[in-house]
């Protein structure tokens, strides 16, 4: 019956071939290949919780008087946006949990994008032919950061309102910036349109852009195949791992629930963005110890530690916030986006690469990446200079000046240290593996010798040498090529659902 239905559909839509191809796609096993999936699944969580939140959120700056359940706010004037966020937190079942899941998932989303990007960067996964996917990935990160900032601003609370005020000023520092800023905000800050506009961008335009780029990102991944770490039979011409069905699908579904579980656990136990403590945004009110979310924190830190230089071009002074607010992110994202091309030029590397580099084998890039990461981490720390000064009982001025030095010194120190560590690791063939005991033996005539003990379970997983099994070609140019091969792979050979599949690369 089901078989018949399937045949009926397949005869009309011819989905067998494509599905077969997809079902047999090989995914590498190494855990670091799952970092991007954290981002994917936190995006799924963001969509699900976000849909819930839009049911109750009112994107309007219409001033209303609060008459809800939170006593300290009763009678205060606030925007409908703030009121509806308070109400969805306190008066809607699961509302606060959903809001906190949404916010934590946003933090994890951008965080996992950065971690995933680090994996790709440090192993050289962005090299030809995957430059395009790297560029798409960088754009995904930019969109994610933007959308995070917009979402953080939507409740119209005291803390986020301060952030929007700062971003308005940063926009004004652009050449012709006052026009851009008033155009975007629909007039002078704060105006009455901003929450409405941010809302549409946050729930529709940017998520659609992210979803589209995500589809392109994954489509290119399928088209270009995965990279792989050297060893275990991986070559420049194959992909080693588990097939989509059933192994990878089971694994990745489980992983979806793990990521959702972590998000839900955080949301249920750790409070995030308690806007009822902050109160509604009023332009003349401000709180101390306020920072943006972490992915904007480095920009805030840069604003804080920027010396008050006044650079005057003939007839025009460049506003000071232009350097940390516009120039720094501009350079950051431009260099990041075109890094594959920059590196290929610099190293005269025009070859295709499908085998990943061990970070230690390319100390130059590893050290550079670590030092750049350190730079942004110091900037992130600088966004909490007041909190640090308070906790360390040090003068705020000292902390501020210290950060100005640290932001230069730390990257300069990190580079040679990382470089040296990489060089040292190159001489340790077993680096990053579990250490084994050395057994000292004494022979009958009194001589001593050392023998390394045998591997314990878990020290090394069994590996399979590449087999020349032509009938296991599962991805070919024609749809019918690999139909029998996949079944063979699943049932034939190893019981560990692991195998080597020779996959011609159609674009070669």
Provide φ and ψ at 288, rounded to 5°.
Answer: -85, 175
Site residues for other proteins, 98-157, by CB under 8 A, read 100, 103-104, 107-108, 111-112, 115, 152
- β-bridge partners, 451: 439
CB within 8 A of 235, min separation 6: which ones? 354, 355, 466
403 binds other proteins (CB under 8 A): no
Q: Tell the smallest beta-carbon distance from residue 158 to other proteins (Å).
A: 6
Whichever of 14 and 277 has its CB closer to other proteins, that residue is 277
Among candidate residues 155, 191, 150, the one with its CA nearest the CA of residue 167: 150
For residue 487, CA distances in Å to 316, 470, 483, 492, 498 come to 71, 14, 8, 8, 13
Supply φ then ψ for residue 444, to 5 degrees: -60, -35
| Sign of the CA dihedral with 408 first, then 413, 419, and 425 last | negative
Sign, CA torsion 99/105/111/114: negative
Q: Report 153-182 residues binding other proteins (CB under 8 A).
A: 158-159
Q: Can you tell me which of 247, 291, 362, 366 binds other proteins, judged by CB under 8 A?
A: 291
For residue 487, the surrounding DSSP H or E stretch is helix 483-491
> Does 37 sit near other proteins (CB under 8 A)?
yes
CB atoms within 10 A of CB 448: 8
Q: Would you say 349 or 386 has its CB closer to other proteins? A: 386
Looking at beta carbons only, is 74 or 311 nearer to other proteins? 74
| Integer Cα distance of 17 and 23 in angstroms | 10
Q: Please give the residues from 231 up to 290 whose contact with other proteins meets the rule CB under 8 A.
A: 231-232, 251, 254-255, 258-259, 262-263, 265-274, 277-279, 282, 284-290
Cβ distance 486 to 23 under 8 Å?
yes
57-76 positions binding other proteins, by CB under 8 A: 71-76
CB-count exposure of residue 478 (10 Å: 0-12, 13-18, 19+) = exposed
For the bound state, the minimum distance from the C-beta of residue 84 to other proteins, rounded and expressed in Å, comes to 17
Q: How far is the CB of 370 from other proteins (least distance, A)?
A: 17
- In the complex, least distance from residue 438 CB atom to other proteins, rounded to whole angstroms: 9
* Smallest separation (angstroms) from other proteins to the CB of 473: 24
Within 405-434, the residues that bind other proteins by CB under 8 A are 432-433
- φ, ψ for residue 145, nearest 5 deg: -65, -45
State which of residues 454, 477, 478, 495 lies at the interface with other proteins (CB under 8 A). 454
Going by C-alpha positions, the residue among 6, 10, 1 that lies closest to residue 479 is: 10
Q: Which is nearer to other proteins, 91 or 132 (CB)?
A: 91
The two structure tokens encoding residue 450 = 């050392």
Map the footprint of other proteins across residues 468-507, applying CB under 8 A. none
- In the complex, the smallest distance separating the C-beta of residue 174 from other proteins, rounded to whole angstroms, is 26
**For residues 204-233, which are near other proteins according to CB under 8 A?**
229-232
- For the chain, give the number of residues: 508
Residue 358 Cβ vs other proteins, minimum distance, rounded to whole Å: 9
Closest to other proteins by CB, 179 or 257: 257
Cβ closer to other proteins: 143 or 281?
281
Q: DSSP character for 324?
A: I
Which positions from 5 through 34 interact with other proteins, judged by CB under 8 A? 29-34
**CA–CA separation, 1 vs 281, rounded Å?**
62
Q: Select the span of 8-16, 193-201, 378-386, 417-425 touching other proteins (CB under 8 A).
A: 378-386
Report the residue number, 74 or 412, with the smaller CB distance to other proteins: 74
């Amino acid at each position: 019956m089901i078989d018949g239905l399937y045949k009926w559909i397949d005869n009309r839509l011819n989905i067998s071939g494509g599905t077969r191809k997809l079902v047999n796609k090989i995914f590498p096993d190494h855990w670091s290949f799952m970092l991007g999936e954290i981002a994917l699944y936190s995006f799924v969580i963001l969509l699900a919780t976000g849909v819930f939140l839009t049911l109750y959120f009112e994107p309007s700056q219409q001033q209303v008087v609060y008459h809800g359940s939170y006593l300290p706010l009763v009678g205060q004037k606030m925007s409908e946006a703030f009121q509806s966020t308070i109400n969805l937190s306190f008066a809607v079942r699961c509302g606060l949990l959903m809001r906190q899941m949404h916010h934590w998932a946003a933090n994890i989303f951008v965080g996992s994008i950065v971690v995933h990007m680090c994996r790709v960067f440090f192993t050289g996964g962005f090299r030809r032919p995957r430059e395009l996917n790297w560029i798409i990935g960088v754009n995904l990160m930019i969109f994610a950061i933007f959308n995070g900032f917009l979402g953080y601003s939507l409740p119209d609370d005291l803390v986020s309102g301060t952030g929007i005020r700062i971003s308005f000023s940063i926009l004004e520092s652009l050449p012709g910036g006052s026009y851009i800023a008033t155009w975007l905000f629909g007039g002078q800050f704060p105006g009455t349109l901003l929450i409405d506009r941010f809302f549409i961008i946050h729930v529709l335009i940017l998520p659609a852009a992210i979803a589209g780029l995500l589809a392109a990102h994954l489509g290119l991944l399928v088209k270009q195949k995965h990279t792989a770490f050297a060893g275990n039979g991986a070559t420049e011409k194959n992909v080693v791992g588990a097939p989509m069905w059933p192994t990878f699908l089971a694994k990745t579904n489980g992983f979806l629930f793990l990521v959702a579980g972590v998000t839900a656990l955080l949301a249920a136990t750790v409070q995030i963005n308690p806007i009822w403590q902050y109160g509604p945004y009023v332009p003349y009110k401000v709180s101390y110890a306020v920072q943006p979310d972490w992915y904007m924190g480095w920009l805030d830190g840069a604003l804080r530690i920027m010396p008050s230089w006044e650079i005057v071009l003939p007839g025009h002074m460049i506003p000071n916030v232009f350097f940390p607010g516009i120039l720094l992110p501009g350079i950051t994202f431009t260099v990041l986006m075109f890094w594959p091309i920059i590196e290929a030029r610099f190293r005269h590397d025009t070859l295709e690469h499908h085998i990943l580099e061990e970070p230690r084998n390319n100390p130059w890039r590893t050290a550079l990446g670590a030092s750049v990461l350190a730079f942004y981490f110091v900037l992130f720390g600088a966004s909490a200079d007041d909190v640090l000064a308070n906790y360390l009982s040090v003068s705020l001025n000292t902390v501020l000046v210290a950060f100005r030095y640290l932001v230069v010194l730390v990257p300069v120190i990190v580079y040679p240290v990382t470089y040296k560590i990489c060089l040292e690791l190159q001489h340790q063939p077993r680096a990053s593996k579990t250490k084994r005991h050395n057994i000292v033996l004494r022979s009958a005539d009194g001589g001593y010798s050392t023998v390394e003990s045998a591997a314990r379970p878990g020290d090394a997983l069994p590996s399979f040498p590449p087999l020349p099994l032509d009938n296991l070609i599962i991805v070919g140019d024609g749809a019918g090529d690999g139909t029998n091969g996949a079944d063979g792979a699943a049932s034939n050979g190893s019981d560990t659902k692991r195998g080597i599949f020779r996959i011609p690369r159609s674009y070669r």
